[in-house]
Amino acid sequence: MKIEKYTLCNMLLLALAAYCIIAMVIEGPIAQDLTYHNFTDQAALWGIPNFANVISNLGFLAAGLWGLGQSRKNLACNDYKTAYLIYCLGVVLTAFGSSWYHLFPSNGTLVWDRLPMTVSFMSLFSLIIRDFVHEKLGRKILIPGLLLGAASIAYWHLSEQMGAGDLRPYFLVQFLPLMLFPVILICYKPQYGHRLYFVLALLFYLLAKAAESFDSDLYQALGPGFSGHTIKHILAAIGSYYALKIFLKARI
């Protein structure tokens, strides 16, 4: 019965991944919407343009540095250290890349926002697969996943230079793990990880994406400094913190 259950779960993951890939192929090229750069809260403070959207990235820096501090003694499994450290580094670099982008919003600076995020996405995906689904598979996909993430940004940037641009590979890198994570939560039992923190990490990330969609509405409701995009950064940083806690000892 156990073998049948996990065989069914594996098939479900493969089917969902195949569906997402085929859907993206059928969709055709997806260009970057230039209105994306027109954030509601553009107020400057202390000479820093778009201050709230820049400074709110400190949450990523705090989460990533905290995670690095925990890596020496508090990892639940020391074999995960490489992928865990890469995830921490991705979160730290996201703080700098996103800050740079929000100082000067454009497609060119957006590259440096998204590139470190792919490091975070792919290293976390490797860790989740390794702990919840299949240890050997999760370990093996780390480097190819990181290369795929970087390639998705390179492809988008080059396609921008040659024409309208195409975000499909980047969307797959970002959203395919997100589509698979609920199935993994339901179907698989972790070796060392904590389900509660996995749920919280996923919840805060989804809340962050929702806040991003209501950038102007939240700004109108809450006032300067609390636009949807600023709140997105805060929620996503909290999600990163809980993602780190998945792989730490229970007492942390």
Assign 1 a pLDDT band (cuts: 50, 70, 90).
Answer: very low
In a domain, 218, yes or no: yes
**Is residue 36 in some structural domain?**
no
Domain assignment present for 231: yes
Q: Is 141 helix (H, G, I), strand (E, B) or coil?
A: coil
- Summarize pLDDT for 123-173 with one digit per residue, the tens: 999 999 999 999 999 999 999 999 999 999 999 999 998 888 899 999 999
45: left (phi over 0), alpha (psi -120 to 50) or beta: beta
What total of structural domains would you count in the chain?
A: 1
pTM: predicted TM-score of the whole model, two decimal places: 0.94
pLDDT computed for residue 5 by the predictor: 64
Which alpha helices (DSSP H) does 28-134 contain, by range?
51-55, 58-70, 81-103, 107-128
Q: Is residue 67 part of a domain?
A: yes
In a domain, residue 31? The reply is: no
Helices and strands (H and E) in the chain: how many: 11, 0
Q: Tell whether 134 is covered by a domain.
A: yes
In a domain, 18, yes or no: no
- Kindly state the average pLDDT of the residues 44-68: 97
| 46, part of any domain | no
* Domain hosting residue 175, numbered range: 52-245
Distance of CA 250 to the CA centre of its chain: 23
CB proximity list for 95: less than 8 A, separation 6 or greater: 57, 58, 59, 60, 61, 64
CATH number at residue 184: 1.20.1070
Position 2 pLDDT exceeds 90: no
CA distance linking residue 71 with residue 123, whole number of Å: 15
Q: Does residue 189 have a pLDDT over 60?
A: yes
Q: State the pLDDT at residue 250.
A: 72
